[in-house]
Structure 1
Amino acid sequence: MTESRDSLSVQELTEEEQDRHRVYMARQPIFDGDLEVYGYELLFRGSGQADQAEISGSAGAGEAATSTVMLNSIMEFDLENLVGDRIAFFNLTREFLLAGTDLPFSSTNVGIEVLENSKVDDDLLNALEHLALLGYEIALDDFTWGPGADRLLSVASMVKLDIQDLDREELPRIVAELQNKQVKLVAEKVETHEEMEMCRRLGFDYFQGFFLCKPTTLSARRLPESKLNTLRLIAKLQEPDVTPAQLEEIIQHDVTLNYRLLRTVNSAYYGLAVKIRSISHAVVYLGIPTIRSWARLLVLSGLEDRPSELVRLALTRARMCQLLTENLSDEASEAAFTVGLFSLLDAMLDIPMDRILPQLPLDEPLIEALETRDGPYGRLLTAVTRYEQGEWDEIDHDLYPVERLTSAYMEALAWAREQYRALMSG
C-alpha cells in the first residue's frame, strides 16, 4: 500500500448529478428488544441549511429544507433503497401537517414523527387523526409532559424519549406513566450497551442510538476461542501475498465457510453460466480478489450472536469508502474498502480494536486509520461515519463535497442490501 497523499480526494460528479445530490440524507435504525431493525428514522438537510431536517410546509422554509425538495429527494433515491421493507419515520412540522399535503408513500411503511415544539390545538389533532386513520404510525419525538400532551397521546401510537436529556432518577416514573397510555416507547440517544439494558429493564419497546457500533464490553477478559478462531481466519484471508493454493486450503479448512462460499457463488445473485464445483474452480473462474472478498464477508456475516444490522452497516461503510476513492489506484480503493469493513470489527467480535489489530496483517496506514482515525484513510473513515450519523457540519467539505457523499451513501446502501441478500442466500 503506497498511497502517500495526506487526504484521499473524491471522484468528481457531473453538474446534473451535483444538482440531484445537494442534500444530506441518512438513516438511523430503531431496534426492537431482539436488536432487529423495526424501522429507520430518516435524516435530511439541504446543503445550504443550518439545521437538521424536518419536512416543512412553511413558505419560507428558512429553518429547514422544504417539503418539495425533501419529498422529491426521497422519491428519487427510492424509499425501498433507504429502508427496505422496514418503516421509514419522517420528522414533519406542524406547517406541513396542516397543509394537508398527501404523502406519496404507502401508510404501511411510513411513520410520522411530530416535533416536540409543535403547537397543539384542534387543527393539529385533526390532521394527526386523519393520518392515523389512513394507517400512518404517529410518533411523538423528544416527548415531554406539557400543554396538550394528553391530547397528543390520544392519537399517537409511539413516544420517543431522549434518555440523555431526562433525569435518570425520573425516568422510571415517566416510563410507567406513558405505559399506562398504551403507547410503544422508544429510547433515543442510547450510546452504550449498558444504557440499552437499563432501558430494556425499564420497559422500553425500542432503542435508537449508536450503541450497536461499540463492543459489549471492553474488559481484559480472556477472549472466547470461537472469536479467536474467527479473528485468525480473517487474518489468514487478509494475507496480501496469499497464493491460490493457500487460499483454497484456508477456505476448505473451515467446513461452514467452504459450504457457504460455494452456495453463494452458485446463487442467482451471481448468475454464472457454469456451476462452480470446488473452491479451486472458484478461484480460477472468479479470481483471488473476488473469492477473498466473499470469504471475508461470509466470515463476518456468520457471527450468529451479532445483530444483522451490524453486518449491513459494515458493508455500507466499506462500499462508501471504496466509492469515495474509486478515482485513485485499485490498491487505494481496496484499502479504503478494508478500512470501512473492519471499522466495526470490535463491535462484531466484542474485542477492543487495540487487541484485534496486532493479529491482522495490515499496512500501517490502515492500522492508523482503524486505531486512531489518523492519516488519509482515517480521515476518510471519519467523514463516512460522520455522514452516516448525521454529523454533517463536522465533515471537511473541501475534501468531501456533499453531493459526492450523498451519491456514495445512497449507492452504498443499495449495494450493501444486495450483498447481504446474497450472503444470506449462502
Structure 2
Amino acid sequence: MFAFIAREPILDKSKSVFAYELIFRDGKGGAYPEHSPEKAQYIEEQFHPLGLDDISGEKSSFINFSSETLISRFPTTLDPASVVVELADNPFTDTGLLEACQHIKQLGYRLAIDDPMMLSARHDILPLIDIVKVDVSRTRFETIEKHIPRYLDANVRLVAEQVNTPDHFATCSDLGFDLFQGYFFAQPEARIVRQLPASKMNIVDLMGEVSGDSFDINRISHVIERDAALSYLLLKFINNPAINKRYKITSLKHALNYMGEVEIKKFIALLSLTNLGDEKPLEIIHMSLVRAKFFDLLSQQRGLKANPPIGFLVGLFSLLEGLLDQSMSDIVKQLPLSDDLNNALLGKNAEFVQYMTLVKAFESALWMNVIKVAKNLDIDQKQLHTLYNQAIVWGNGVRSVITAHYPQAQVREN
C-alpha cells in the first residue's frame, strides 16, 4: 500500500504501545497520500510497499487526512477497528467537514484532532471527537491544567505530543493525559554510574562473545545452557517462522550448523539485549530491533565486513543509554565489546554516524535528512526506504516472539 512512510509510537501510562502515528512522505504535511493508479502500480513493482498490518502490527494506526480527502475521497477500505482518523486541517473553518466527520463516525472510525490551544471544546465538532492531541512543548502547563477537565468530562482521550524526557512524561501523566507521543521511553531516567547487577553477567559474557572475530561455540553453549530461560528463548527466536521456515532447530550447535556463525551472533546479541533490558518498555527493544536490521542491510549495501556483524550490533545496542539509564561512555567501560563496536557506539566512526542520522530521520519523518545522507552514502534515497521497510517488517516479526516471553510485556501488552 505504502512505500515511503515513517511511524511514531503513541504509548499509554504503562509505556506500552497504544498505536503508531503514520507520516507519509508523499502526502501534504505527512497526510494520507492519494496516488494515481499508475504511480501505485509503479511503487508496488519497484519498491517494498507496506500495508497497515506490516507497519503497525496489531496496534492501531493514527492517519492524518486532509479535509478534501475526508469530504470527497475518504478510503473506506481502511479497517475502522484499527485506524484512527486524524484531521490534518483546522476543523473550524472547512465547509462540509463537520458533515463528513459525522459520516465517518457512522462508519465506525474514531476521530482525533490536534488542538495545541485546547479550543475544540468550544466547537460543534467536539461531540464527534474521541481523541485530542496537545503539543506540550508549545502549550503552557497552566493552560492545559485549566482546560483539561472539560475534555475528561466529555470522555475525550488526551495525547500529549512532544514528550521527550521522563520528567515530561511524569508531568503530563499527573495532569491527566493517558497517551503520550515522543521518545521519552528511550531516554535514561537518571544518569548515574553503577555496576551492572551480577544477575546480568551471563548476558554481558554473551555480548562480548558476539562482537569479536573469534567464535567459541563451546563457551557460548556453556553460558546459555546454565540459564534455562536463555536456552528456551534462543530456540524460540530461531524457530520463529519469520526467521526459519524450514527446519526445527533443537540446540545451539544445531542452529550453528544450519544458520552459520554470523546469523547466530546476531540472534545471541538480540537475546542478550532482550534480557538486559527486561525492566524497560518493550518498545525500546522494538526500536533497537528495527535499527539493528536497518544497519545490517545498510552495511551489506555498503560492502562492509560481515563477521562480526558490526552494523547489526551497532543498531541493536544504539539505545543502551535508555535501557541501562547510563551514558554510553560509562556503559562501554562495563561491557567486553570490541574496540570497533565501542568506537561506533561512541560516535567515533564516520560511517555509523551517518547511519544514526539516517535512522533518526526515518523515525521522525525528517525527509530532507534522508535525502542528504542518501547522497553522502551514494545510495538512492528511495532504495533506503525499501531497506527501512524491510527492517520494520523484520522487527515486527521478532517482536511477536519476544512479547510472550518479555518479562514486563506479559503485563503491559495484554
Q: Same fold (TM over 0.5)?
A: yes
Query: 2:396 is matched by which residue type in structure 1?
Result: R
- Name the structure 1 match of 2:16: 36
Query: 1:385 is matched by which residue type in structure 2?
Result: K
Query: 2:156 is matched by which residue type in structure 1?
Result: V
1:387 aligned residue (341, 359, 362): 362
1:334 aligned residue (309, 318, 321): 309
Aligned length: 392
Q: Is the 8 A contact 1:67 1:96 kept in 2?
A: no
1:364 to 1:407, Cα distance in 2 relative to 1, 3 A: same
Aligned ranges 1:200-215 → 2 under 5 Å: 200-215=173-188
Query: 1:139 is matched by which residue type in structure 2?
Result: A
Q: Is the 8 A contact 2:163 2:182 kept in 1?
A: yes
- Name the structure 2 match of 1:4: none
- Name the structure 1 match of 2:384: 405
Check if 1:54 corresponds to 2:31: yes
Shift, 1:265, TM fit: 3.5
1:138 aligned residue (92, 111, 115): 111
Kindly indicate whether structure 1 or structure 2 has the higher relative contact order, using CA contacts under 8 Å at least 6 residues apart.
Answer: 1
Distance in 2 between residues matched to 1:225 and 1:40, nearest whole Å? 36
Distance in 1 between residues matched to 2:184 and 2:118, nearest whole Å? 27
Aligned ranges 1:183-332 → 2 under 5 Å: 183-221=156-194, 223-226=196-199, 230-266=203-239, 270-273=244-247, 276=250, 278-302=251-275, 303-327=277-301, 328-331=303-306
- Name the structure 2 match of 1:17: none
SS of structure 2 residue aligned to 1:107: coil
- Name the structure 2 match of 1:161: 134
Shift, 1:94, TM fit: 1.4
Deviates more, 1:97-106 or 1:160-169: 97-106
**Deviation string, structure 1 residues 93-115 (Cα, Å, up to 9, x no partner):** 11211214333211111111113
Distance in 2 between residues matched to 1:25 and 1:392, nearest whole Å? 10
Q: Is the 8 A contact 2:121 2:150 kept in 1?
A: no
Shift, 1:133, TM fit: 1.3
- Unpaired segments ≥5 residues, structure 2: 406-414
Shift, 1:227, TM fit: 5.2
Check if 1:177 corresponds to 2:150: yes
Distance in 1 between residues matched to 2:404 and 2:305, nearest whole Å? 28
Distance in 2 between residues matched to 1:306 and 1:147, nearest whole Å? 35
SS of structure 2 residue aligned to 1:85: coil
1:318 to 1:99, Cα distance in 2 relative to 1, 3 A: same
- Name the structure 2 match of 1:414: 393
Deviates more, 1:174-183 or 1:123-132: 174-183
Check if 1:81 corresponds to 2:58: no
Shift, 1:412, TM fit: 0.7
Query: Under a length normalisation based on structure 1, what TM-score does the superposition of the two structures give?
Result: 0.82
Distance in 1 between residues matched to 2:120 and 2:81, nearest whole Å? 30
**Deviation string, structure 1 residues 125-159 (Cα, Å, up to 9, x no partner):** 11111111111110012442448842121110000
- Name the structure 1 match of 2:84: 111
Q: Is the 8 A contact 1:213 1:347 kept in 2?
A: yes
Query: Under a length normalisation based on structure 2, what TM-score does the superposition of the two structures give?
Result: 0.85
- Name the structure 2 match of 1:372: 347
**Deviation string, structure 1 residues 370-408 (Cα, Å, up to 9, x no partner):** 223651112122212222221222332313432012101
Distance in 2 between residues matched to 1:175 and 1:95, nearest whole Å? 30
Distance in 2 between residues matched to 1:170 and 1:223, nearest whole Å? 42
Distance in 2 between residues matched to 1:394 and 1:106, nearest whole Å? 32
Shift, 1:203, TM fit: 1.1
- Name the structure 2 match of 1:61: none
SS of structure 2 residue aligned to 1:326: helix
Distance in 2 between residues matched to 1:121 and 1:283, nearest whole Å? 62
Query: 1:25 is matched by which residue type in structure 2?
Result: I
Shift, 1:209, TM fit: 0.5
Shift, 1:275, TM fit: 5.2
RMSD: 2.9
Query: 2:256 is matched by which residue type in structure 1?
Result: V
Check if 1:101 corresponds to 2:78: no
2:327 aligned residue (330, 352, 374): 352
